Structure 1
Amino acid sequence: MITLDGKNLSLADLNIILNDNVKVELDNDAIELVKKSRLAVEKIVREDQTVYGINTGFGKFSDVKIAEVDTRKLQLHLIRSHACGVGAPFAEVVSRAMVVLRLNALLKGFSGIRIEVLERLAYMVNNRIHPVIPQQGSLGASGDLAPLSHLALVLIGEGFVWQKNEQVPAADVWQTHNLEPITLEAKEGLALINGTQAMTAQGVVNYLAASKLAYDSEWIAAMTMESLFGIVDAFHPSVHEARGYQEQMDVAERMRNWLAGSQLATKQGEKRVQDAYSLRCIPQIHGASWQVLNYVKEKLEIEINAATDNPLIFDDGDTVISGGNFHGQPIAFAMDFLKIGMAELANVSERRIERLVNPQLSEGLPAFLSPQPGLQSGAMILQYAAASLVSENKTLAHPASVDSIPSSANQEDHVSMGTIGSRHAYQIIENARRVLAIEAICAAQAVEYRGVEKMSKALYTKWQEVRAVVPTINEDRIFSEDVEKLADWLSPASH
């Protein structure tokens, strides 16, 4: 059980909530803050004070006063009208993350929402009631309005929920659980949808997948090193200490550990003086991607505990301020940075694949690792596929955050496009995983020509694991199936 209080949720906590189905509970102190905040909203409504989103319209309609009798209707109209998401839905794990993160943000006690609504969100997490949320339609400022509106629809008994990979009407699910849908009171609809939880939820899933893939990329690269008689001197600690980047030093250390005891890796001068950059510079290139991952982690751990709706209520309701914490620029930048870091892991992997399959570069390996060069093509088109994925990543890596289109009659005149960046980062990570799967297939094949008995003990274990998923290439076959199987095995969901 993880206790949510709006302040101390970590990525490690979130990981087990998402992937180990750990349940959540609400912190008692946070509950008291939520209740105080709600009393402030009720006072504003009772005294007919004019406060944005409580008794006014939204966006360009912020100057339109709403009568007390219509405050419920205002919230209902808000959710329905803003549920404009289109396209394929987010993965169910992203939807789960969205519910957890919105709940955690509202527990900070700045949003004026009733505790009953938060208890229902917790119930959704603990009973795996995950909204179906379309991916497209958010500008990443004024919050992720469209995606979060689809989340809120489920609370009011509308929209759809995932149940055994099928989309089921939310009303039917609440009936099954013997619960009535929530009727939203003043401010509550706005509190639910003003936030960055779509881009952040996808961002968290991205980070968890990317960090695993970054570790996997190192043993895969080490196996390629063995296949090409790579020179281990390049990983000497003194080289990396001389530059001073901790991430670079860490990668070099892990590469030394992977290659410890290898009879295939060489010393400088044994076969050649130095390797190509894609081998020699693994700590520098992969280490730089780890710097990106560390930056992304830092921003996500702030954002998952942030109050991102508007207005925010302070001092027991004496201070109510319309601000802009819903603006997704910090996460937009982080996701664009993540795109570049992961695209580069794929770029350098593809260059190593080329060295494994190109007979002019592969130190005597059969052309394209073919069991019968000429009669059989071997890994020739595997390299094509990797090159295609890498090229696609280059287009996806264009920063979403440099774009902005004004909305709401120019009231919202600068937006982050952070959700687009987050979605594209996910696509890049998926592509990069397939590129690294191709490198692993090629390296596992190549090292057999060298003699697996000469591998380091650690890499021999990895070679056995790869072979349990993808058999030796004794004859040309449908390699697409191999790539997908190994990419699935490399994904966080399989471990």
Structure 2
Amino acid sequence: MNTTISKIHPKEIKKVTLGAGAISINEIIAVSRYDAEVLFSQDYRERVNLSRSVIEKFLDEERVIYGVTTGFGSNVTETISTEDAEVLQKNIIRSHAVSVGEPLEKEVVRAIQFMILVNLGNGFSGVKLATLELLRSLLNHQIIPFAPGEGSVAYLAIEAHMALVLMGEGKAWYNGELIPGNEALEKAGLQPVSLGCKEGLSLINGSTSVTAFASLALYNSIQAAKTADIAGAMSLEALKGTIKAFDPRIHSVKRHEEQAITARNIVKMLERSEIVEKYKDYRVQDALSLRCIPQAHGAVKKVLKDAEFTICNEMNSTSDNPIIIPEDQGDALMVGNFDGTFVGIYADTMAIAMANLAKVSERRLDRLVNYHVSELPNFLVAKPGLNNGYMIPQYTAAGLLNEIRVLVHPATVDNTPTSANQEDVVSFAYFAAKKAYQISKKLEYILGLELMAAVQALDFHQPLKPSPVSQKVYELIRSVVPTVEEDRYFYPDIQFITNLIHEGEILNTVELIIGKLDW
């Protein structure tokens, strides 16, 4: 599968049609973050209807099928009558809605809802089209189910809270107000559904929440890795680093494509810099946080590329149990496709990669504010002592980096059996993906702090001119964040710059000048 993320920014994607081909990371972001409308193709509808007709046939035949005519988990030995099939589906939603803690934020809930639509629309789950239409309407009407985000081993509880709203139960936000689920549906002109056999199980089963979190983390981390090249280039420039460390001959003798790509990005961004030209022979070699940008950033990019391939495969797969095969007379296969280990392991790996990107960014930030090595005014303020300048933002980066290091511990190596040991191996992929998402946002802050300091450091090189790329980034940041002459409240500055990273504005500014950064 070609997993290359689309060059179209998610903001520009206004509609996403399911069933028209493989879903991309950018389409998930378009729906979850930027409220793109979700549509169903005719193929999508036909697949769902065919699968539903097969499961209803199975029910009429009273076949023994897990979660349809049997109980769940270790209750698989309990037989469920045809008359109780619908009650069973309601009960699984109500009994499984037991996650706790603070509710998941809007974009996470929407990403999970979207992934449920993708998963069940593949035509191997036996759900009714009307149920998926209602779930689609929740997305398109901005109904955000209340879903506490803690206590999931990989699936079930989070999704169950969301599924309650489809039944007219639970709670949801509508027009900014948290109200009972039935009221949210009524205000949007929608009606709850009565879940039929297999539907409750399918709505909460699978790797949908894992894949949703991982997709958000992946998008953030790829954007952060590209922005890290920009921040690294500007820090190198401000710290009088030598461009000679980025000579392509160096990187041609180490067989990692991403290393050479990163070096090429740095050279392109620093072309025509008067500062770089003046100091290219200033030192024999720089500190590792500058000299090894290609090696450190390149290794992170390789991990993210591998993660992208795996996550894209998962999000276009069917992760349910049982799997309904419509061909011939039909079949129901009791399987383990709900397992999230593929994505979980890569989420843990992405966390390690992002931690490496964060640590090198924090070290560059420290060099920028530390006059012992920067050859710039102490903490980048003209009158240190009376003013603290950017002393404490480096503390913030150190604190964030500490939090990242704690979160980097892999979740997927752990195991706590559930369901009376019927589920004796548990992936814990949910927290692996969730913490990767948390780390991606902390990384954005650290990069924002580095950029804030790099821009301030460039002020002290005047009248020498930075590269045209650095100048444009400088102007973008300075449009809101003025030069620090004396201490002020820095929180708004940090938020502004970090938001520029999160929304891709800094990356877009650079790419308008030199074209797409190599990846």
Q: Same fold (TM over 0.5)?
A: yes
Which of residues 341, 349, 360 is equivalent to 1:348? 360
RMSD of aligned Cα (Å): 1.8
**For 2:169 and 2:445, how far apart are their aligned partners in 1?**
38
- Match in the other structure for 2:171: 160
Partners of 1:268 and 1:274 within 8 A in 2:
no
SS of corresponding position for 2:178 = strand
**For 1:131 and 1:6, how far apart are their aligned partners in 2?**
27
- Match in the other structure for 2:419: 408
- Indicate how the Cα distance of structure 1 residues 453 and 171 shifts in structure 2: closer, same or farther if over 3 A, else same: farther
**For 1:374 and 1:315, how far apart are their aligned partners in 2?**
75
- Match in the other structure for 1:104: 118
Counterpart code for 1:361: V
SS of corresponding position for 2:488 = coil
Q: Does 1:170 align with 2:161?
A: no
Counterpart code for 1:393: I
Q: Does 1:271 align with 2:282?
A: yes
- Indicate how the Cα distance of structure 1 residues 414 and 347 shifts in structure 2: closer, same or farther if over 3 A, else same: same
Q: Does 1:213 align with 2:232?
A: no
- Indicate how the Cα distance of structure 1 residues 90 and 6 shifts in structure 2: closer, same or farther if over 3 A, else same: farther
- Indicate how the Cα distance of structure 1 residues 197 and 452 shifts in structure 2: closer, same or farther if over 3 A, else same: farther
Give the drift of 1:315: 4.1
Give the drift of 1:384: 1.6
Q: Does 1:383 align with 2:356?
A: no
Q: Does 1:135 align with 2:160?
A: no
**For 1:80 and 1:354, how far apart are their aligned partners in 2?**
51
Counterpart code for 1:225: L
Q: Does 1:258 align with 2:272?
A: no
Give the drift of 1:157: 0.7
**Structure 1: which 5+ residue stretches go unaligned?**
none
Q: Does 1:223 align with 2:234?
A: yes
**For 1:129 and 1:156, how far apart are their aligned partners in 2?**
14
Which of residues 230, 238, 242 is equivalent to 2:249? 238
Partners of 1:300 and 1:331 within 8 A in 2:
yes
Give the drift of 1:88: 1.2
**For 1:55 and 1:452, how far apart are their aligned partners in 2?**
78
**For 1:452 and 1:147, how far apart are their aligned partners in 2?**
56
SS of corresponding position for 1:264 = helix
**For 1:6 and 1:66, how far apart are their aligned partners in 2?**
37
- Indicate how the Cα distance of structure 1 residues 395 and 6 shifts in structure 2: closer, same or farther if over 3 A, else same: farther
- Match in the other structure for 1:13: 27
Give the drift of 1:32: 2.1
**For 2:443 and 2:399, how far apart are their aligned partners in 1?**
11
Deviation readout 1:142-174 (Å, 9 max, x if unpaired): xx1001111211110111222244322220121
Partners of 1:7 and 1:305 within 8 A in 2:
no
- Match in the other structure for 2:161: 150
**For 2:44 and 2:369, how far apart are their aligned partners in 1?**
59
- Indicate how the Cα distance of structure 1 residues 412 and 7 shifts in structure 2: closer, same or farther if over 3 A, else same: farther
- Match in the other structure for 1:247: 258
- Indicate how the Cα distance of structure 1 residues 373 and 220 shifts in structure 2: closer, same or farther if over 3 A, else same: same
SS of corresponding position for 2:371 = coil
SS of corresponding position for 1:354 = helix
Which of residues 67, 72, 75 is equivalent to 2:89? 75
1:476-487 alignment runs, 5 A limit: 476-487=487-498
Which of residues 305, 319, 341 is equivalent to 1:329? 341
Give the drift of 1:227: 0.8
- Match in the other structure for 1:29: 43
- Indicate how the Cα distance of structure 1 residues 347 and 123 shifts in structure 2: closer, same or farther if over 3 A, else same: same
Partners of 2:185 and 2:191 within 8 A in 1:
yes
**For 1:33 and 1:105, how far apart are their aligned partners in 2?**
12
Give the drift of 1:178: 3.0
Deviates further, 97-106 or 27-36? 27-36
**For 1:287 and 1:452, how far apart are their aligned partners in 2?**
33
Give the drift of 1:43: 1.6
**For 2:499 and 2:194, how far apart are their aligned partners in 1?**
42
Q: How many residues align?
A: 491
**For 1:115 and 1:319, how far apart are their aligned partners in 2?**
20
SS of corresponding position for 1:230 = coil
- Match in the other structure for 1:489: 500
Partners of 1:82 and 1:146 within 8 A in 2:
yes
**For 1:161 and 1:249, how far apart are their aligned partners in 2?**
49
Identity %: 38
**For 2:34 and 2:442, how far apart are their aligned partners in 1?**
25
Which of residues 15, 18, 27 is equivalent to 1:4? 18
**For 1:145 and 1:5, how far apart are their aligned partners in 2?**
25
- Indicate how the Cα distance of structure 1 residues 292 and 153 shifts in structure 2: closer, same or farther if over 3 A, else same: same
**Structure 2: which 5+ residue stretches go unaligned?**
1-14, 509-519
Deviates further, 328-337 or 163-172? 163-172
Give the drift of 1:284: 0.9
**For 1:214 and 1:33, how far apart are their aligned partners in 2?**
39
1:285-364 alignment runs, 5 A limit: 285-316=296-327, 318-362=330-374, 364=375
Give the drift of 1:334: 1.1
Deviates further, 387-396 or 158-167? 158-167
TM-score of the two chains, using structure 2 as the length reference: 0.91
**For 2:170 and 2:445, how far apart are their aligned partners in 1?**
34
**For 1:437 and 1:29, how far apart are their aligned partners in 2?**
44
**For 1:339 and 1:376, how far apart are their aligned partners in 2?**
36
Give the drift of 1:228: 0.8
- Match in the other structure for 2:466: 455
Counterpart code for 2:350: L
SS of corresponding position for 1:30 = helix
Give the drift of 1:33: 2.3
**For 2:105 and 2:265, how far apart are their aligned partners in 1?**
33
Deviates further, 36-45 or 284-293? 36-45
- Match in the other structure for 1:86: 100
SS of corresponding position for 2:412 = helix
- Match in the other structure for 1:118: 132
SS of corresponding position for 2:373 = coil
Deviation readout 1:114-138 (Å, 9 max, x if unpaired): 1111222222222222222211121
Partners of 2:244 and 2:280 within 8 A in 1:
no
TM-score of the two chains, using structure 1 as the length reference: 0.95
**For 1:493 and 1:187, how far apart are their aligned partners in 2?**
41
